[in-house]
Amino acid sequence: MATLHKVVEDTEPTLRSHETGTVIQVGGGIARVRGLASVTSEELVQFPDGVLGVAINLEPDEVGIMLLGDSEKLGAGIRVTATGREADTPVGEGLLGRVIDATGKVLDGGKPLEFHERRPIERPAPEIIERSPVTVPMETGIKAIDALIPIGRGQRELILGDRQTGKTSVAIDTIINQRNKGVKCIYCAVGQRATAVAKAVETLRKHDALDHTVVVVAPDDDPPGLRYITPYAATTMAEYFMEKGYDALIVYDDLTRHARAYRELSLLLRRPPGREAYPGDIFYIHSRLLERSTHLRKEFGGGSLTALPVIETQAQDISAYIPTNLISITDGQIYLSPVLFQKGLLPAIHVGKSVSRVGGKTQHPALRSVASDLRLSYSQFEELETFARFSTRLDKETRATIERGRRVREVLKQNERHPLRASEQVAVLKAVNAGLLDDVPLDAIANAEKRIQKHLLETLPELCANMENGETLDDDQWQRVLSELEVALAGIVQASGS
Ligand code: ATP
Ligand code: MG
């Protein structure tokens, strides 16, 4: 009798009736349905042909559903079934190297996706008690960032700038730089053209960065519902790695388009529009997303999730609605300026308008010691240079400051897809700080840089390894670095002087 009772108990949960409703209207990626009286918010519903939707607007006599698939075959009168499940997404190691959408649909034409588990796309952010300070650098391999705006693992750093200023490039380079570092990356592309995404995937593949990356895509021709849920699903995939104790990195490219997808949905659902026609909860959709990135305490696995949200500004207006929201949510921003881009100063990072509020503490000490004065002296130079244009007679000291500044600017230039190790960055910044590049003509700097980086790695491999492991260098060791830099540069200065 006891066993029979147990069997009945075990089978009970499967005896669930699936409620059905009827579509009354479909359009713009939204379906209005009558009859799903007990459906819950965020519940998955199913249409014929396997098209899924998520209930988001619950009203007394009808339900607003955002569609996650093609709505062509749907129309009034069609039956809808509630599934009793929250919207969820696959997670696991099997996702690495794949290009998928938020529901787990394979988009790279490869074999079926391997996974053992699905998790809800909306999950609560870790509690304060589970979080720990950011202590380890998230190295981008980009000199201007690692030296002047350093990012830490678990930090949220905004990348913003007008269109075509190199935002995606910075993010992709950061992912490429995580090769062989054990960091698991998620590149979440929302609302971009499919060709742009294909280009990004190709770049990752070409630089051996796809194996540690999951690409989650909702291109601009996907229904707004799918574009809206994609960043949440991508974050669930990233959290899987964080909760396993890994360091993970997620790029949202970009959240301007995500906000627009949500605005589209809200207007279709006739929610009252507010500033710039965005609905009242537009701040919340991004804050709850980015709150999920953090560094967990050891007791909770010690993993981390670093977020690099991307935002597109219009006509350099960083005080528009969505940019200011994101600036206030994140721990700093990297601002890319179209003016610098046009001058060919790539990456077009505007140091004065960029900041990292928590990453400074994580910077490698060797890098910090060469970069600490750079930020201030570089800003001073920028100001001086503007003034110097109006006067021909400059005193010697001013002229020297300007010449040094020009060399720093030259040194901060970096081609995309050329990430540098911490020791390589230290080498060239130390050289410019110590005035070793003052006699090198501007057009020979790039060449000199390569030379000193190579020379230092060859002659002082242990010291370079120390720098990369975050050890401090004593005076004696710095002296050795300096004399090797001088040796490396001797040939160049002579060649250009003759
Ligand atoms: P969009 O607004 O279209 O998304 P974006 O701001 O993401 O553009 P990217 O696509 O990253 O900009 O870059 C624009 C162009 O500039 C690309 O052709 C890219 O190759 C080039 N570019 C960006 N950064 C660099 C760099 N450091 N060195 C050389 N080329 C660069
Ligand atoms: Mg881009």
Domains and CATH numbers, the chain: 20-85 (2.40.30.20), 90-363 (3.40.50.300), 368-497 (1.20.150.20)
**134 in Cβ contact with 362 (< 8 Å):** yes
Consult the annotation and say whether 344 binds a ligand. Answer: no
What is the number of the ligand closest to the CA of 253? 2
Closest ligand to Cα 164: 1
Task: Give residue 16 CA to ligand 2 midpoint distance, Å.
Answer: 46
CA 168 – ligand 2 centroid, Å? 4
State the closest ligand 1 atom to the C-alpha of 165, by its place in the atom list counted from 1: 6
Helix (H) / strand (E) containing 442 = none
Q: Give the whole-angstrom CA distance, residue 103 versus residue 95.
A: 12
* Spatial distance between the Cα atoms of 490 and 498, rounded to a whole number of angstroms: 12
The dihedrals phi and psi of 146, each to the nearest 5 degrees, come to -60, -30
pLDDT of residue 487: 94
Nearby residues for ligand 2 (ion, Cβ within 5 Å): 168
Mutating to test ligand 1, I would choose from 168, 258, 312, 349 the residue with most ligand atoms within 8 A of its C-beta, which is 168
Nearest ligand to the C-alpha of residue 312?
Answer: 1
CA–centroid distance, residue 348 to ligand 1 (Å):
9
Residues with CB under 6 A from ligand 1: 161, 163-169, 312, 346-347, 414-416
Residue 162 among known ligand-binding residues: yes
Residue 357 designated active-site: yes
Annotation-wise, does 230 bind a ligand? no
pLDDT for the residue 144 = 96
Which atom in ligand 1 lies closest to the alpha carbon of residue 336? 6
**Three-state SS at 295:** strand
Strand, coil or helix: what is 186?
strand
8 Å CB contact between 359 and 333: no
477 Cβ neighbours under 8 A, 6+ residues apart = 463, 466
pTM of the model: 0.93
| C-alpha 166 – ligand 1 centre gap (Å) | 3
Give the model's pLDDT for residue 17.
Answer: 67
The residue annotated as part of the active site, out of 85, 118, 179, 357, is: 357
Ligand lying closest to the C-alpha of residue 165: 1
User: Which two structure tokens, joined as six digits, stand for 487?
Assistant: 């040796």
Q: Name which residue sits closest to atom 3 of ligand 1, judged by CA.
A: 164
The label of the residue with tokens 């200011």 reads 324
164 labelled ligand-binding: yes
167 is an annotated ligand-binding site residue: yes
pLDDT, residue 32, reads: 95
pLDDT of residue 4: 43
CA 446–ligand 2 middle distance (angstroms): 27
Q: What is the b/e burial string over 150-176, where b = at least 16 CB atoms within 10 angstroms of the residue's CB?
A: bbbbbbbbbbbbbeebbbbbbbbbbbb
Provide the pLDDT for residue 493. 62
- Which pLDDT belongs to residue 377? 77
Per-residue pLDDT of the chain (498 residues), as tens digits, is 444 444 444 455 555 568 999 999 999 999 999 999 899 999 999 999 889 999 999 999 999 999 999 888 899 999 999 999 999 999 999 999 999 999 999 999 999 999 999 999 999 999 999 999 999 999 999 999 999 999 999 999 999 999 999 999 999 999 999 999 999 999 999 999 999 999 999 999 999 999 999 999 999 999 999 999 999 999 999 999 999 999 999 999 999 999 999 999 999 999 999 999 999 999 999 999 999 999 999 999 999 999 999 999 999 999 999 999 999 999 999 999 999 999 999 999 998 899 999 988 999 999 999 998 788 778 788 888 877 777 667 788 888 888 899 999 999 999 999 999 999 999 999 999 999 999 999 999 999 999 999 999 999 999 999 999 999 999 999 999 999 999 999 877 666 554
Q: Rounded to the nearest whole angstrom, what is the distance from the C-alpha of residue 164 to the centroid of ligand 1? A: 6
Minimum CA distance residue for ligand 1 atom 22: 166
Provide the token pair at 321.
Answer: 């609605």
Ligand 1: residue of 140, 159, 167, 169 to mutate (most ligand atoms within 8 A of CB) is 169
Q: Is 92 annotated as a binding residue?
A: no
